[in-house]
Structure 1
Amino acid sequence: MMGRPKITVVGAGNVGGTAAQRLAERDQYDVVLVDIVEGVPQGKALDMAQAGPVCGYSTRVVGTNGYEETAGSSVAVITSGIARKPGMSRDELLATNAKIVQSVVKELIARSPEVILLLVTNPLDAMVHVALKVSKFPKSRVIGMAGVLDSARMRAFIAHELNVPGPDVEAMVLGGHGDTMVPLPRYTTVKGKPVSDLISKDRLDAIVKRTREGGAEIVGLLKTGSAFYAPSASAVDMVDAIMQDQKRVVPSAVLCEGEYGLKNVIIGVPVKLGRGGAEQVIEYELTAGERAALEASATAVRELCANVDRLMM
């Protein structure tokens, strides 16, 4: 039992709590769940521990309101922040969540100087920018979870459209997380076949649009919250890729310094994930249209990050 790597999840709300549960069920890590609300992380941790004998895992899950227990974490998944409410733009979340992420990152890196930071808090690309700035970590160790979720949504819609198993569909979504995301139907396949051979262009366009609005669709249905099953699954998928040194290429939000012609901007691109974190950005061939869409997405992210810098002066 000794010597399991430690994964910290900050924020014990729906995304964080479910991520901790999924990590516990892996039976490969020690899990620390941190939240400012007294009793909530402790209660959820106890509940997860008690599910262990039934589900067949013996993961140690610790719930805490402080950060002492996070010392020596390999990866920290940051989900803390206020959630988007119906009608609220991602930008309105900006000031509040930037301050929360700033303080969380300071607490984590003081105790785990080698940790890899995996950001889930929205607005995603801007929060990666904040974490990078505060931590002064190399860019390989500050990664945003967005593209895995966006492509999971696209894969689910395509699987439903074609009545095939979800895992048979591979999709790639680049760009910022939100209205400017850039789905790549050309790199989207079903059992290796290009999706454009299987679905008409107008149906595919509708799927791309629904993918882009995927988060808002769920917020609209739930009324009092946002998505958490797919986001937590996507974050844990990235934790596994890192901790198991899989070298798997998944879309992740990282700082680009020339890749895809993008300089000094955090944006979703295909990244090889392994024990070093975001080990390499993989450059796909893009059409002029896809490149222009990625540029537009980068411009939107730059504006968001400039706003963050202004708010955090």
Structure 2
Amino acid sequence: MISKTSKVGIIGAGNVGADVANALVLLGKCVRVVLFDRTLSKAEGQAWDIEDSIPLLKEMEIIPSNQYEDLADSDIIIVTVGVQQKQGQTRLDTLSDNAQIIRSTIKELDRVAPNSIVLIVSNPVDVLTRIAIATSTRAENLIFGSGTVLDTARLRYQLGKRLNVAKQDVHAYVIGEHGDSEFVVWSSAFIGGILLTKFPIPQGATLEQIQQEYAQLTRKRGYNIFERKGNTSYGISTVVCQLVDTILRDEKQIFPVSARADSNYGVGSEVVLGLPCIIGSTGIQRQLLLSRNAHEQHLLEESANKLNEAYNSLHN
């Protein structure tokens, strides 16, 4: 049950931040939303527009602000602020611009809301989450990124349609970087409790063709949307709402969020990437070790190396 005083803060009133706020209100996921932006008029415009829908929905409060102090006592703070990715760029291309923004933001959040759970959504989410963990004084379980949650949701939905089964019965994970080096752990993919390798494949296709097609579709989906409309926001805002709901209700659901890798993954213990974790009222409650074959382990190591190089480039 959601607390009668549940409060969610959002840093950044741009496309993603505003859509997260709107989704929280439409779905009634908390009692109070604080939409923070350095430019107060921007936060006000977005918040007031969203507020006009509340008379037709569940009673909530949305507060625009440019004062970090208004985020105090938030259960969760969602960080969406940062330089936007441009046409032709990868998510990692925005790193140098966004790293300092995240450092300064986290320092302010440590000052005003040291016990809040912090969810990083800004890209490149894995490296920025690592920067946030390194910068913050709060417990590490209270900071994580949106990781490959959206990528996994895209895969499950599209693969379910191809196999003609409900998306809820597709159990497969996209892990690694939220970006070009992400990959599907096909060896651990199940359809309704049946290994994908043993599940009936539609006529006219092979398992290998389906794996290649849907891994590529999942990896390129965000870029394809970006090319057509200039940003992506609806999918990730729904992901954030799901994570908020899981935290506030202490549901202990499993999501592949950006977290520091367990040493048993064989990629060191410093790199942050999308890995399955149990999420509840205290943030990350436990990281799970997903079975991988030798090829998938190689892909995980490649993804980790890419993210390590990006992080280390900031210190060269």
TM-score normalised by L of structure 1: 0.92
| CA distance in 2: counterparts of 1:133 and 1:122, whole angstroms | 17
Q: Secondary structure at the match of 1:213?
A: helix
- 1:86-108 Cα offsets, whole Å, 9 max, x none, are 11132320111111111211222
Task: Give the direction of change, closer, same or farther, for the CA distance of 1:260–1:82 in structure 2 (3 Å limit).
Answer: same
| CA distance in 1: counterparts of 2:295 and 2:4, whole angstroms | 49
| CA distance in 1: counterparts of 2:261 and 2:8, whole angstroms | 26
Residue 34 (str. 1) matches residue 36 (str. 2): yes
Query: Which stretch has the larger CA shift, 193-202 or 101-110?
Result: 193-202
Query: Which stretch has the larger CA shift, 256-265 or 169-178?
Result: 256-265
- 1:97-133 Cα offsets, whole Å, 9 max, x none, are 1111112112222111101110011111110011112
Q: 1:293 aligns with which of 275, 299, 307?
A: 299
Q: What is the match of residue 49 of structure 1?
A: 51
Q: Secondary structure at the match of 2:314?
A: helix
Task: Give the direction of change, closer, same or farther, for the CA distance of 1:198–1:102 in structure 2 (3 Å limit).
Answer: farther
Specify the code of the residue in structure 2 equivalent to 1:208.
Answer: A
Taking only the aligned residue pairs, the percentage that are identical comes to: 30
Q: 2:236 aligns with which of 214, 221, 231?
A: 231
Alignment of 1:179-198 (within 5 A): 179-196=180-197, 197-198=199-200
Task: Give the direction of change, closer, same or farther, for the CA distance of 1:83–1:292 in structure 2 (3 Å limit).
Answer: same
TM-score normalised by L of structure 2: 0.91
Contact 2:35 2:62 in 1 (8 A): yes
Q: Secondary structure at the match of 2:290?
A: coil
Q: State the Cα distance separating 1:11 from its structure 2 match.
A: 1.1
Q: State the Cα distance separating 1:58 from its structure 2 match.
A: 0.9
Specify the code of the residue in structure 2 equivalent to 1:206.
Answer: E
| CA distance in 2: counterparts of 1:227 and 1:198, whole angstroms | 34
Q: State the Cα distance separating 1:3 from its structure 2 match.
A: 4.6
| CA distance in 2: counterparts of 1:165 and 1:16, whole angstroms | 30
Structure 1 runs of 4+ with >6 Å offset: none
Q: What is the match of residue 147 of structure 1?
A: 148
Q: Could you say what the CA RMSD is over the residues aligned between the two structures, in angstroms?
A: 1.9
Contact 1:252 1:270 in 2 (8 A): yes
Task: Give the direction of change, closer, same or farther, for the CA distance of 1:230–1:198 in structure 2 (3 Å limit).
Answer: farther
Alignment of 1:1-313 (within 5 A): 3-27=4-28, 28-54=30-56, 56-196=57-197, 197-199=199-201, 200-222=207-229, 225-263=230-268, 264-310=270-316
Unaligned 5+ segments in structure 2 are 202-206
Query: Which stretch has the larger CA shift, 298-307 or 3-12?
Result: 3-12
Aligned positions, number: 307
